[in-house]
Amino acid sequence: MSSVAALGFDAIAPADAAWRSAACRRLDSLTKPLGALGGLETLAAQVCAIQQTLEPAIRHPVAVVFAGDHGVADRGVSAYPRAVTEQMVKNFLGGGAAISVLARLQRMELWVVDAGVDGECASHPRLIDAKMAHGTRDFVEQAAMPLAECEEALRRGRRVIGQVVPARGNTLLLGEMGIGNTAAAALLMHGLTGRPLADCVGRGTGLDDAGLARKRATLAAAAARRAPPADPVELLAEFGGYEIVMLVGALLAAAARRMLIIIDGFTVTVAAAAAARIEPNVIDYCVFGHCSAEQAHRTLLADLKARPLLDLGMRLGEGSGAAAALPLVHAALALFAEMATFAAAGVSEKSA
Amino acid sequence: MSSVAALGFDAIAPADAAWRSAACRRLDSLTKPLGALGGLETLAAQVCAIQQTLEPAIRHPVAVVFAGDHGVADRGVSAYPRAVTEQMVKNFLGGGAAISVLARLQRMELWVVDAGVDGECASHPRLIDAKMAHGTRDFVEQAAMPLAECEEALRRGRRVIGQVVPARGNTLLLGEMGIGNTAAAALLMHGLTGRPLADCVGRGTGLDDAGLARKRATLAAAAARRAPPADPVELLAEFGGYEIVMLVGALLAAAARRMLIIIDGFTVTVAAAAAARIEPNVIDYCVFGHCSAEQAHRTLLADLKARPLLDLGMRLGEGSGAAAALPLVHAALALFAEMATFAAAGVSEKSA
Assign B224 to helix, strand or coil.
helix
Q: Per-residue pLDDT tens for A119-141?
A: 999 999 999 999 999 999 999 99
How buried is residue B269: exposed, middle or buried, by Cβ count under 10 Å (0-12/13-18/19+)? buried
Could you tell me which of B51, B64, B73 has the C-alpha nearest to residue B134?
B73
Residues of B in contact with A330 (CB under 8 A): 105
- What percent of chain A is predicted at pLDDT more than 90? 98
Contact B35 A206 (CB under 8 A): yes
> Other C-beta atoms within 10 Å of B55: how many?
9
Q: How confident is the model at residue B352 (pLDDT cuts 50, 70, 90)?
A: very low
Contact B96 A334 (CB under 8 A): no
Residues of A in contact with B312 (CB under 8 A): 38-40, 309, 328
B156 in Cβ contact with B7 (< 8 Å): no
The residue type at A227: A
Contact B33 A79 (CB under 8 A): yes
Could you tell me which of A143, A165, A161 has the C-alpha nearest to residue A275?
A161
pLDDT of the residue at B351? 60
Instruction: Please give the Cα distance from B181 to B322 (Å, whole number).
Output: 18
Contact B316 A32 (CB under 8 A): yes
Q: Which of B38, B87, B327 sits opposite A327 (nearest CB)?
A: B327
Contact A91 B340 (CB under 8 A): yes
* Radius of gyration of chain A from its Cα atoms, rounded to whole angstroms: 20
Q: Given a cut of 90, is residue B230 above it in pLDDT?
A: yes
Q: Where are the alpha helices (DSSP H) in chain B?
A: 4-7, 17-29, 39-51, 83-94, 98-105, 147-164, 181-193, 197-200, 209-225, 232-239, 242-256, 266-278, 295-303, 320-338, 342-345
Contact B338 A101 (CB under 8 A): yes
Could you tell me which of A219, A224, A286 has the C-alpha nearest to residue A250?
A286
Q: Which of A33, A205, A208 sits opposite B316 (nearest CB)?
A: A33
Residues of A in contact with B314 (CB under 8 A): 36-40
Q: How confident is the model at residue B1 (pLDDT cuts 50, 70, 90)?
A: confident
Contact A98 B339 (CB under 8 A): yes
- For strands B260-263 and B286-288, give the pairing: parallel
What residue in A sits closest to B85 (Cα-Cα)? Answer: A347
The residue type at B285: Y
pLDDT of the residue at A350? 75
pLDDT of the residue at B350? 75
Q: How confident is the model at residue A83 (pLDDT cuts 50, 70, 90)?
A: very high
Residues of B in contact with A99 (CB under 8 A): none
Mean pLDDT value across chain A: 97
Q: How confident is the model at residue A284 (pLDDT cuts 50, 70, 90)?
A: very high
Q: Which of B91, B206, B311 sits opposite A34 (nearest CB)?
A: B206
Instruction: Give A306→chain B minimum CA distance, Å.
Output: 13
Assign A112 to helix, strand or coil.
strand
B265 alpha-carbon distance from chain centroid: 7
A110 in Cβ contact with A129 (< 8 Å): no
Half-sphere exposure of A164 (CA within 13 A, CB side): 32
Contact A313 B38 (CB under 8 A): yes
- Any residues with CB less than 8 A from the CB of B25 and at least 6 apart, and which? none
What is the pLDDT averaged over residues B251-262?
98
Residues of A in contact with B335 (CB under 8 A): 98, 101-102
Instruction: Give B68→chain A minimum CA distance, Å.
Output: 16
Torsional class of B287: left (φ above 0), alpha (ψ -120 to 50), beta (otherwise): beta
DSSP A206-254: T--HHHHHHHHHHHHHHHHHSPPPSSHHHHHHHH--HHHHHHHHHHHHH
Instruction: Please give the Cα distance from B140 to B163 (Å, whole number).
Output: 34
Assign B20 to helix, strand or coil.
helix
What is the pLDDT averaged over residues B71-93?
95
Mean pLDDT value across chain B: 97
Assign A278 to helix, strand or coil.
helix
Annotated catalytic residue within B109, B318, B338, B349: B318
What is the pLDDT averaged over residues A33-40?
97
Contact A101 B312 (CB under 8 A): no
How buried is residue B8: exposed, middle or buried, by Cβ count under 10 Å (0-12/13-18/19+)? exposed
Assign A190 to helix, strand or coil.
helix
Could you tell me which of B133, B127, B136, B173 has the C-alpha nearest to residue B268?
B173
Could you tell me which of B52, B43, B1 has the C-alpha nearest to residue B22?
B52
- For strands A260-263 and A171-177, give the pairing: parallel
**Most B CBs within 10 Å, among A29, A34, A40, to test the B interface:** A40
Q: Which of A39, A81, A330 sits opposite B313 (nearest CB)?
A: A39
Torsional class of B168: left (φ above 0), alpha (ψ -120 to 50), beta (otherwise): left
Instruction: Give B308→chain A minimum CA distance, Å.
Output: 9
Instruction: Give A335→chain B minimum CA distance, Å.
Output: 6
Contact B339 A309 (CB under 8 A): no
Q: Per-residue pLDDT tens for A143-188?
A: 999 999 999 999 999 999 999 999 999 999 999 999 999 999 999 9
Q: Per-residue pLDDT tens for B156-190?
A: 999 999 999 999 999 999 999 999 999 999 999 99
Edge-first strand listing for the sheet containing A62-68: A127-129, A109-116, A62-68, A171-177, A260-263, A286-288
- What percent of chain A is predicted at pLDDT more than 70? 99
Helix, strand and coil content of chain B, in percent to the nearest 5, comes to 50, 10, 40
A89 in Cβ contact with A121 (< 8 Å): yes
Q: Where are the alpha helices (DSSP H) in chain A?
A: 4-7, 17-29, 39-51, 83-94, 98-105, 147-164, 181-193, 197-200, 209-225, 232-239, 242-256, 266-278, 295-303, 320-338, 342-345
Three-point CA angle A331, B325, A54, nearest 5°: 10
Torsional class of A33: left (φ above 0), alpha (ψ -120 to 50), beta (otherwise): beta
Could you tell me which of B64, B148, B10 has the C-alpha nearest to residue B323?
B64
Residues of B in contact with A46 (CB under 8 A): none
Report the Cα–Cα distance between both ends of chain A, in Å, rounded.
53
- Any residues with CB less than 8 A from the CB of A149 and at least 6 apart, and which? A132, A133, A237
What residue in B sits closest to A312 (Cα-Cα)? Answer: B39
- What percent of chain B is predicted at pLDDT more than 70? 99
A31 in Cβ contact with B99 (< 8 Å): no
Contact A32 B87 (CB under 8 A): no
What is the pLDDT averaged over residues B35-61?
98
What is the pLDDT averaged over residues A70-81?
94
> Other C-beta atoms within 10 Å of A163: how many?
11
pLDDT of the residue at B124? 98
B110 in Cβ contact with B88 (< 8 Å): no
Q: Given a cut of 70, is residue B102 above it in pLDDT?
A: yes
Q: Given a cut of 90, is residue A352 above it in pLDDT?
A: no
Contact B88 A320 (CB under 8 A): no
What residue in B sits closest to A348 (Cα-Cα)? Answer: B84
Contact A340 B104 (CB under 8 A): no
Instruction: Give A323→chain B minimum CA distance, Å.
Output: 9
Q: Per-residue pLDDT tens for B196-214?
A: 999 999 999 899 999 999 9
Q: Given a cut of 90, is residue B263 above it in pLDDT?
A: yes
Its pTM stands at 0.97
Q: Given a cut of 60, is residue B103 above it in pLDDT?
A: yes
Q: DSSP code of B83?
A: H
A338 alpha-carbon distance from chain centroid: 30
What residue in A sits closest to B318 (Cα-Cα)? Answer: A32
Length of chain A counted residue by residue: 352
What residue in A sits closest to B103 (Cα-Cα)? Answer: A331
**Most A CBs within 10 Å, among B28, B29, B32, to test the A interface:** B32
Instruction: Give A79→chain B minimum CA distance, Å.
Output: 6
- What percent of chain B is predicted at pLDDT more than 90? 98
Q: Given a cut of 90, is residue B324 above it in pLDDT?
A: yes
Contact A94 B340 (CB under 8 A): yes
pLDDT of the residue at B2? 92
Instruction: Please give the Cα distance from B352 to B349 (Å, whole number).
Output: 9
Instruction: Please give the Cα distance from B175 to B186 (Å, whole number).
Output: 17
Could you tell me which of A202, A208, A274 has the C-alpha nearest to residue A239?
A274
A92 alpha-carbon distance from chain centroid: 17
B338 in Cβ contact with B331 (< 8 Å): no
Residues of A in contact with B327 (CB under 8 A): 327-328, 331
Q: Given a cut of 60, is residue B117 above it in pLDDT?
A: yes
How buried is residue B307: exposed, middle or buried, by Cβ count under 10 Å (0-12/13-18/19+)? middle
pLDDT of the residue at A1? 84
Instruction: Please give the Cα distance from B166 to B161 (Å, whole number).
Output: 9
User: How many interface pairs between A and B have CB atoms less than 8 angstroms apart?
Assistant: 199
Q: Given a cut of 90, is residue B349 above it in pLDDT?
A: no
The residue type at B263: I
**Most B CBs within 10 Å, among A93, A328, A335, to test the B interface:** A335
What residue in A sits closest to B177 (Cα-Cα)? Answer: A32
Assign A271 to helix, strand or coil.
helix
B240 in Cβ contact with B188 (< 8 Å): yes
